[in-house]
Amino acid sequence: MGKPTVFIDGAEGTTGLQIHSRLNDRDDIEIVSIPQEKRKDAQARSQFINSADVAILCLPDDAAREAVNFVTNPNVKILDASSAHRVADDWIYGFPELEPKRREEIKNAKRVSNPGCYPTGFLTCVRPLVADGIIPKDFPVTINAISGYSGGGKKLIEEYQSISQEQADAYAYGIYGLSFGHKHVKEMHKHSGLQCPPLFVPSVGNFEKGMLVQIPLPLHSLQNQPSGELIHNTLKEYYQNEKYVSVAALNDDSLRKAKFFDAQAANDTNLVQVFVFANEETKEALLIARLDNLGKGASGAAVQNLNIMLGLDEDLGLG
C-alpha cells in the first residue's frame, strides 16, 4: 500500500502555503500538486480532489463550497480550512481538544472543518465552563481580541508590509467589525453551548502573527459566584492530558513581556496557552487564550486534523 496522498486546493494562499511548508519534508505522505496554469481550472481541480486520499481546501468560502460539489469519489476525505462549513450539521468540527469523543469523530469523518483562529481561543476558554455549568448557558459573554495582521490574509499582509514606519505607527492598533455579525460569531455560538451569540470585538495590531483572546467575567453576576480557583481548576482538569493546550497557574503573569502580556509569545507553536486572572475581593475574572493565528489558529490545526484523519501520529509536522 502506497503513501496517502494529499492535495491542497488553494496552495498559493496564506494558509495553503503554511500547510504545504509543514508537509513538504514529510516522507509518510505524498503531496500531489496541480500545475500552476491549471489551478483555476475547475475540471483539473476536480480530478485532483477526487484522486487524493485527503483534499485540503484553502479557499474563499464560495470556492470551498464549489470544490466540495466537485467530489464524486466516495472515499476522498475533505478538510476545509475556510469558514464555509464550520457550522454545517453534516461536517465534523475539527477541534480535537474540544471534547473527549472529538478525535474519534475526526478520524472517522469524510468531512472535517478546520476551526477559525479567534474561535479556537474563545472555545478553549469557554466551552469547558459552559459544559460544567460555571458559565450559565444564557450568560451574555463578551470577547475582546487582537490578532496579528496576517489574520487578514494576503491583501492585509501586503498592505502592512508596503507601508512606511510612520504609517505603521498609525496602524498600531485598530478595532474592526463595528457593525457586528463577524463571520466567526456563528461558529463561536454553535460550539460553545451558549444559548445566545457572544458579543465579539476583534482588532488587529501592527505585528505579523500572534493572538490574544480575552473573555472578561464579572463573577458577581454569575450563578453561585464561582471563585477564580474553581474556574482555573476546571480548565486545568479538562485539558490535563492535552499536549497542545496548556493552562498556566492561577494569576500567573510570569510570561509577560516587560509590563505587558505579549500577544506573540506562542508564535511558531501549535499551542493554545490559557490564563485565568481573578480577584476575589472585586469578584472579577479574566480568561485569556494566546495562540499563533497561523499555527493552532490555522495551519497547525489543519496538520493536526490531517494526521488524525489519516490515522497517523497526531504530532507529525507540528514540532
Catalytic annotation, residues: 117
- Please state, as a whole number, how many other Cβ atoms lie within 10 Å of the Cβ of residue 33: 12
* Closest to 152 (Cα-Cα) out of 269, 14, 263: 14
**Rounded Cα gap, residues 80 and 17, in angstroms:** 15
* Closest to 149 (Cα-Cα) out of 136, 132, 131, 162: 162
**Rounded Cα gap, residues 290 and 155, in angstroms:** 24
* Closest to 142 (Cα-Cα) out of 204, 220, 201: 201
Percentages of the chain per state (helix, strand, coil), in multiples of 5: 35, 20, 45
Cβ atoms of 313 and 307 within 8 Å: the answer is yes
Cβ atoms of 247 and 262 within 8 Å: the answer is no
Gyration radius of the chain over CA positions: 20
Contacts (Cβ under 8 Å, ≥6 apart) of 219: 225, 226, 227, 228, 278, 283, 284, 285
* Closest to 31 (Cα-Cα) out of 16, 46, 43, 44: 16
**Rounded Cα gap, residues 14 and 150, in angstroms:** 8
Report helix, strand or coil for 202. strand
* Closest to 219 (Cα-Cα) out of 274, 276, 290: 276
Cβ atoms of 277 and 285 within 8 Å: the answer is yes
